Amino acid sequence: MTTTLALPATPEGIARAAALLRDGALVAFPTETVYGLGGDARSDMAVARIFDAKGRPRFNPLIVHLPDLAAARSLAVFDARAEALAAAFWPGPLTLVLPLRADAGLSPLVTAGLDTVALRVPAHPVARDLLRAFGGPLAAPSANPSGRISPTRAGHVTDGLAGRIAAVLDGGPCAVGVESTILGLAGEARLLRPGGLPAEALEAALGGPLATGGDAAKPSAPGQLASHYAPRAPVRLQAGAAGPGEVWLGFGPGPTGLNLSPAGDLVEAAANLFHLLRAADELAGDGGIAVAPVPETGLGRAINDRLRRAAAPRP
Ligand code: TXA
Ligand code: MG
């Protein structure tokens, strides 16, 4: 057990967090999507600690976070598509999976031994300040125990990981609320995980539809692990109303109770998703959670992906 420090998102807090990271310790930090569990991506020890703290299977590779495109280019090979998408959408909720450069200097644990690497330049000002203060690449999966609901508040991080990590930088609630969109660009452009950047925006930028679905030859997102983002209570989707003993999680006008967005706004619903799933789980007691239908467009794709995994049979 370590004592997990709660650090404010001040220049002093960020400097302290960067010093801990340079010592190989783990620090959770806010991004615009969810809180990340950061460790030095060049250090086998730090990266091994990330897998341990989360209880994450080691075959599941991590996203590397960078302060800017120039730093990202030193780790991976950017073709014309990657350059265009980085110019259009970084910093922001987009992760690109690209061919790993031989001289990248990352711990092989980060990529789980693959010849590709997942890179992201986050937009959150605290994440950017931390990356600059640390001065290197940060491996950062979502800061939750593996298979559980991702954190969008500093308190969610301590609920799951207190005593297992050195510190949490508190940057308040995450504005986007679902993880980044992951686009594979090592071959044909493939949507590996729907997320905070709507797939429609990528398709417009690339000028055509994206391939979807896992590439059986390659390991991919915890997406591929059917049960993920799982609350304690069972989850029932596409519900019209709560059944006996169920907690209601609505979308748009309808029965009273918890609501992702009473106005039916998908951006608001994404920002509320993980927070309200946690709240519903606490209220559910021995019952379940009934969730209203959410449209499968824009951020709705990411919301439904997370909800389907929350509802999937548990291992
Ligand atoms: O928004 C986000 O992406 C958050 C914040 C903290 O940045 N991070 C996040 O990380 O969601 P994590 O570890 O929970 O999800 C990373 C995903 C995993 O599904 C993993 O399989 C995939 O990225 N991934 C990483 N490297 C990959 C690679 N080389 N090829 C295919 N998928 C990869
Ligand atoms: Mg995760």
Rounded percentage of the chain residues whose pLDDT exceeds 90: 90
Q: How far is Cα 224 from Cα 287, in angstroms, rounded to an integer? A: 27
Task: Please indicate whether residue 114, judged by its CB atom, sits closer than 6 Å to ligand 1.
Answer: yes
- Break the chain into its structural domains and give their ranges: 5-212, 235-311
Q: Which CATH number among 3.90.870.10, 1.10.1040.10, 3.40.250.10, 3.40.50.1100 corresponds to the domain 5-212?
A: 3.90.870.10
Q: How far is Cα 2 from Cα 5, in angstroms, rounded to an integer? A: 9
User: How much is the pLDDT for 217?
Assistant: 40
**Beta-bridge partners for 117:** 98
Q: Which two tokens stand for residue 120?
A: 């992201």
Q: Which amino acid is at 173?
A: P
Task: Tell me the CB-side half-sphere exposure of residue 120, using CA atoms within 13 A.
Answer: 31
Q: Is 308 annotated as a binding residue?
A: no
Given a contact cutoff of 8 angstroms between Cβ atoms, the answer to whether 67 and 128 are in contact is yes
Task: Please indicate whether residue 62, judged by its CB atom, sits closer than 6 Å to ligand 1.
Answer: yes
**Beta-bridge partners for 65:** 120, 138
N- to C-terminal Cα separation, the chain: 27
In three-state secondary structure terms, 36 is strand
Q: How far is Cα 300 from Cα 287, in angstroms, rounded to an integer? A: 26
Q: How far is Cα 207 from Cα 152, in angstroms, rounded to an integer? A: 33
Instruction: Please name the residue that has the structure tokens 């609320």.
Output: 177
- Give the burial class of 11: count Cβ atoms within 10 A of its Cβ; 0-12 exposed, 13-18 middle, 19 or more buried: exposed
Given a contact cutoff of 8 angstroms between Cβ atoms, the answer to whether 38 and 27 are in contact is yes
Q: Is 124 annotated as a binding residue?
A: no
User: Closest residue (by CA) to atom 3 of ligand 1?
Assistant: 180
Q: Which amino acid is at 19?
A: A
Task: Please indicate whether residue 142, judged by its CB atom, sits closer than 6 Å to ligand 1.
Answer: yes
Q: pLDDT tens across 60-112, in order?
A: 999 999 999 999 999 999 999 999 999 999 999 999 999 999 999 999 999 99
Instruction: Please name the residue that has the structure tokens 């049979």.
Output: 313
Given a contact cutoff of 8 angstroms between Cβ atoms, the answer to whether 267 and 294 are in contact is no
Q: Phi-psi category of 209—alpha, beta or left, where left has phi over 0 and alpha has psi -120 to 50?
A: beta
Q: Is the confidence metric ipTM above 0.85 for this complex?
A: yes
Given a contact cutoff of 8 angstroms between Cβ atoms, the answer to whether 168 and 7 are in contact is yes
213 CA → ligand 1 middle, Å:
15
The pTM (predicted TM-score) of the whole model is 0.95
Residues of the chain short of pLDDT 50, as ranges, are: 215-219, 222-223
221 CA → ligand 1 middle, Å:
6
The β-bridge relationship of strands 27-29 and 36-40 is antiparallel
**Beta-bridge partners for 119:** 64, 96
User: How much is the pLDDT for 154?
Assistant: 98
Q: Is 116 annotated as a binding residue?
A: yes
Q: Is 31 annotated as a binding residue?
A: no
Give residues with Cβ within 8 angstroms of 63, minimum separation 6: 36, 95, 118, 119, 120, 139, 140, 141, 180, 182
Q: In what order do the strands lie in the sheet with 247-250?
A: 235-236, 289-291, 247-250, 258-259
User: How much is the pLDDT for 10?
Assistant: 98
User: How much is the pLDDT for 222?
Assistant: 45
Mutate which of 130, 131, 179, 224 for ligand 1? The one with the most ligand atoms within 8 Å of its CB, which is 179
Q: Which ligand is nearest to the CA of 32?
A: 1
**Torsion angle defined by CA atoms of residues 8, 132, 104 and 191, in that order, rounded to the nearest 10 degrees:** 70
User: How much is the pLDDT for 286?
Assistant: 87
User: How much is the pLDDT for 228?
Assistant: 81
